[in-house]
């Protein structure tokens, strides 16, 4: 537990300059930003084997949106979430991967990001304090994995590709292709934690 407290303190200090003020952590007004929908994602971090790792999922191939893609736990905002992005992220984590919320701590909320499909994403940073035993909802998630966060600053497994006149970051980690907004957010998180720039040019999203 002593190591965990040090890890949490490190994340608290690293993310503090970037977190949304607690008084402004409610969901963005979609009409004001001319967006269609809002979602929350849960970025779960854990320090192990000498590096920070992040938990990622693979979406079910049966889903209508982004089937088979690597993603963070998370999903669209429901009315029941009462304008609370953290509540959305935790609810989706429970629904998708059987998340045991007593085994994580929330660090805070980063500023929202707009995808190229005009969806507003609220990134919620969390830290894993105990090893998780996940129970996947196979209708939504086919598998999960963790990977070192440091790979998202290196050229080794990095490339770009074009789709619908847009350019995207892409990383091939083992059998997993991590790209799009997920890759972009992971790059930004890695830049904060390691206080380094990537070995490649960052594409504006």
The span from the CA of 10 to the CA of 77, in Å, is 30
pTM value is 0.92
Residue pLDDT, tens place only, 134-163: 999 999 999 999 999 999 999 999 999 887
Counting as low any pLDDT under 50, the low residues of the chain are none
Question: Which pLDDT score is estimated for 160?
Answer: 93
Contacts of 56 (CB under 8 A, 6+ apart): 70, 71, 72, 144, 145, 146, 147, 176, 178, 182
Question: Which pLDDT score is estimated for 38?
Answer: 87
Pairing status of strand 166-173 against strand 176-179: antiparallel
Question: Which pLDDT score is estimated for 77?
Answer: 85
CATH number assigned to the domain with residue range 2-149, chosen from the 4 options 3.10.20.600, 3.90.79.10, 1.10.357.10, 1.10.3720.10 = 3.90.79.10
| Tokens standing for residue 59 | 């979406």
């Amino acid at each position: 537990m002593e190591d965990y407290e040090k890890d949490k303190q490190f994340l608290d200090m690293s993310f503090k300059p970037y977190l949304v003020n607690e008084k402004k952590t409610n969901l963005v007004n979609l009409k004001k930003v001319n967006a269609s929908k809002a979602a929350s994602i849960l970025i779960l971090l854990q320090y192990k084997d000498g590096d920070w790792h992040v938990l990622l999922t693979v979406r079910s191939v049966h889903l209508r949106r982004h089937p088979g893609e690597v993603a963070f736990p998370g999903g669209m905002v429901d009315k029941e979430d009462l304008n609370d992005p953290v509540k959305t992220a935790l609810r989706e984590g429970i629904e998708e991967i059987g998340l045991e919320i007593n085994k994580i701590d929330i660090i805070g909320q980063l500023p929202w990001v707009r995808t190229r499909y005009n969806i507003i994403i609220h990134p919620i940073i969390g830290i894993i304090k105990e090893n998780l035993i996940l129970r996947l909802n196979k209708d939504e998630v086919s598998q999960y994995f963790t990977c070192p966060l440091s790979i998202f600053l290196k050229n080794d497994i990095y490339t770009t590709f074009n789709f619908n006149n847009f350019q995207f970051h892409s990383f091939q980690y083992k059998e997993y292709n991590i790209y799009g907004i997920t890759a972009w957010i992971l790059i930004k998180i890695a830049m904060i934690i390691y206080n380094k720039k990537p070995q490649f040019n960052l594409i504006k999203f």
